[in-house]
Chains A and B, each alone.
Chain A
Amino acid sequence: MATITYEAATRFYPGSERPAVDGLEISIEDGEFLVLVGPSGCGKSTSLRMLAGLEDVDEGAIRIGDRDVTTLAPGRRDVAMVFQSYALYPHMNVAENMAFALEMAKMPKQERRRRVREAARILDLEPFLDRKPKSLSGGQRQRVAMGRAIVREPQAFLMDEPLSNLDAKLRVSTRSQIAALQKRLGVTTVYVTHDQVEAMTMGDRVAVLNEGVLQQCDSPRALYQRPANAFVAGFIGSPAMNIREFAVHDGHARIGDRDVEVSDELRAALADEGLDRVLLGFRPESVDLVGPSEGFTASVQLVEELGADAYLYCSIAGTDHAGDPDIVTRIDPARPPRVGETVHLRVRAGHEHAFSPVTGERLSS
């Protein structure tokens, strides 16, 4: 177990102008569960593979504990990796799959067998130790891949979307099992996923990447409540945060057919930046249905009823883009408005997030 540090780690793919990972700076604490999340091609898998040694680090450095592993071969980094495809050795049975790394480390046979048996017990794989991967189910293969990592008792676990090949139900149960196992073993873990629910539920901290650049690295709650920029705000949360650009005049933002007063703090921030427009974001649960005299007017385009919740997709009256819904709001599922109905909405005071329309960075504190 050890800390992991990315020090301005950068990776250029041959023939590409833009780095796949651009100056990544993260310090991961001993025993921490860090999730790397972002859309496809954001560099999250590349970052993990750089740590594993499967991808070169073109600039910067990576440390595990106080060892600089930047140029070390994958096998000498003392990290175990769980691949998206599991990558089991097809010609070896489960026990041999798990023992392979130990054999490479020239561990005595007795100890090898003890560790494999222990891992098989933890993962419920004891009846399958003699089976080949092809005769296992997807979930069992996934557990073998986990077992192969556990037996090594490594400095760190690296997991590259280990759940994406499982069906939805198994994914949810395995998600909590992995999180619980990691807490129990206390091994520093870096986990890559594109699924923000996985990221939010599993990670001690979540690092959001976009186009190779780290956007924010914080606890799930902080990411949700105080996104550092418009990208993180839009990426974290489902349905996504409503983010729209509004003109600001005399301390009022024009939302649809109504002027809404902005806070003094935001007014000052806008003045500092010399902006007359603002990106305002508010989560679906921060928008309330109100009486006709309050808030701004919108017409309902779609009602999504999920049982415990219902979501209204509305377009704000007086905006020119009539096609797409402008705003999503969570409402009481007991009495949902009908499609085409006109409703009045108000953003709960203090629940709005303001971002610069130029840089996308957060303006309000």
Chain B
Amino acid sequence: MLETAPTPPASGEASHSERAAAARRRTRRPRSLGVAALAWTVGLVFFFPVLWMFLTGFKHESEASTTPPTWLFVPTFDQFRAILGRDFLPYFLNSLTASVLSTVLVVVLAVPAAYALSLAPVRRWKDALFFFISTRMMPPVAIILPLYIIANNIGLLDNVTMLSVVYTVMNLPIAVWMIRSFLVELPAEVLEASRVDGASIGTEIRRIILPMIAPGVAATALICFIFAWNEFFFAVSLTSTKAATVPVFLTGFITAEGLFLAQLSAASMMAALPVILAGWVAQKWLVRGLSLGAVK
């Protein structure tokens, strides 16, 4: 037995509201289409180098630098195999150690520092804040010589620990400024409530402040991680073989005999992976709105 399916209303029977909505869609369409097209174009322009790097990484060296560019090719994992064969792993581990260690150190030091510059301001906190950021005003090249001599004297040349310390110092001012900006936004009454409830400064920071500024701390940590991961100048100046990082490794493909573009692309891809991964992990913490409902 056949059942009759309910027929959709003919266009003439559509309700007024549906028709009005359709009319609105029609009038809005050309403009929103233009905006969408522009957004896609800009997005693709930004994304294209990444895509080209991705594609080139799977090419043979002979296909990588042709004119005109090769679009159709048989993908190969040869370049990745070659990179892993060239001892990529130690460089990768050096980068990871320096970036993670410095990021952890930065956050651990920046939170109390920011606290002392915002919620319980020390004397002359404005000067202290300016001093922090002023250390970033000098170009790194201006301090590389003393830094090199110090590292040499204390026997920490070509050492990941040295690099971690340098990255910590490099990122600390930005982290203090960022975390301070999150702290000054905290509702003062919530912190006072915790004090009346009997929380010590340590408990207040751990149990009340940190959970409330978690998104900000995540954003700060992500930025510090990326800066440390991509840092090249200090790495190439202070390390040689034992403690060299991924950016140093990448320059190894730019040789006197020529540019190994396909291998460089494959290596760059592997170098970019942890940052992409870190961004993806931090995403869940970056969501704002955790402090909603505290006051009012």
Contacts and interface: CB of A to CB of B under 8 A. Distances in A.
A77 B196 CA distance: 8
Interface stretch (A68-76, A116-124, A292-300): A68-76
Contacts of B190: 87-90
A141 interface: yes
A104 B293 contact: no
A86 B295 contact: yes
A98 to B, nearest CB: 10
Interface string A52-82: 1110000000000000000001111101110
Contacts of B294: 85, 87-90, 133
A100 B212 contact: no
B195 A89 contact: no
A138 interface: yes
A138 B295 CA distance: 10
A90 B198 contact: no
B291 interface: yes
A109 interface: no
A132 B292 CA distance: 10
Contact of A54 (B195, B198, B207, B295): B195
A134 interface: yes
Q: Which bracket fits the contact residues of B?
A: 20 to 34
Interface in A133-151: 133-136, 138, 141, 148
B196 A54 contact: yes
A135 to B, nearest CB: 7
A85 B293 CA distance: 10
A105 B198 contact: yes
Nearest to A132: B293
Contacts of A135: 293
A134 B295 contact: no
B198 A53 contact: no
Nearest to B289: A134
Contacts of A77: 196
Given A90-B291, A101-B197, A83 B189 contact: yes
A37 B74 CA distance: 83
Interface in B192-244: 192-200, 203, 207-208, 211-212
A330 to B, nearest CB: 37
A339 to B, nearest CB: 42
B84 to A, nearest CB: 44
A27 interface: no
Contacts of B196: 52-54, 74-75, 77, 79-81, 101
Interface string B252-296: 000000000000000000000000000000000000011111111
B187 interface: yes
B291 A74 contact: no
Interface in A80-116: 80-81, 83-91, 100-101, 104-105
A94 to B, nearest CB: 11
Contacts of B189: 83-85, 87
Nearest to B292: A134
B211 A104 contact: no
B192 A85 contact: no
Nearest to A149: B196
Interface in B157-211: 187, 189-190, 192-200, 203, 207-208, 211
Nearest to A160: B189
A155 B223 CA distance: 48
A53 B192 CA distance: 10
Q: Identify the interface centre among B190, B197, B212, B289: most chain A CB within 10 Å of its CB.
A: B197
A40 interface: no
Nearest to A84: B189
B211 A91 contact: yes
Contact of B290 (A53, A91, A105): A91
A132 B207 CA distance: 16
A165 interface: yes
A54 B189 CA distance: 10
Residue among A76, A104, A148 with most chain B CB within 10 A: A104
A81 B190 CA distance: 11
A323 B141 CA distance: 75
A138 B199 contact: no
> Max chain B CB contacts within 10 Å: which of A90, A105, A138?
A90
Contacts of A87: 187, 189-190, 192-193, 294-295
Given A89-B208, A90-B290, A101-B198, A81 B296 contact: no
Contact of A88 (B195, B289, B293): B293
Given A75-B199, A84-B189, A89-B208, A134 B296 contact: no
A134 B293 contact: yes
Contact of A83 (B192, B207, B211, B290): B192
A181 to B, nearest CB: 19
A54 B192 contact: yes
A53 B190 CA distance: 15
Interface of A: 52-54, 73-77, 79-81, 83-91, 100-101, 104-105, 132-136, 138, 141, 148, 152, 165
Interface of B: 187, 189-190, 192-200, 203, 207-208, 211-212, 289-296
21 contacts: A53-B195, A54-B195, A54-B196, A75-B196, A83-B189, A84-B189, A86-B295, A87-B187, A87-B192, A89-B190, A89-B208, A90-B212, A91-B211, A91-B290, A104-B199, A104-B203, A134-B289, A134-B293, A136-B293, A138-B296, A152-B197
Across the A-B interface, the 5 shortest Cβ-Cβ residue pairs: A134-B293, A75-B198, A85-B295, A133-B293, A101-B197
Given A75-B195, A80-B196, A88-B193, 8 more contacts: A75-B196, A75-B200, A85-B294, A85-B295, A89-B194, A90-B290, A90-B293, A91-B211
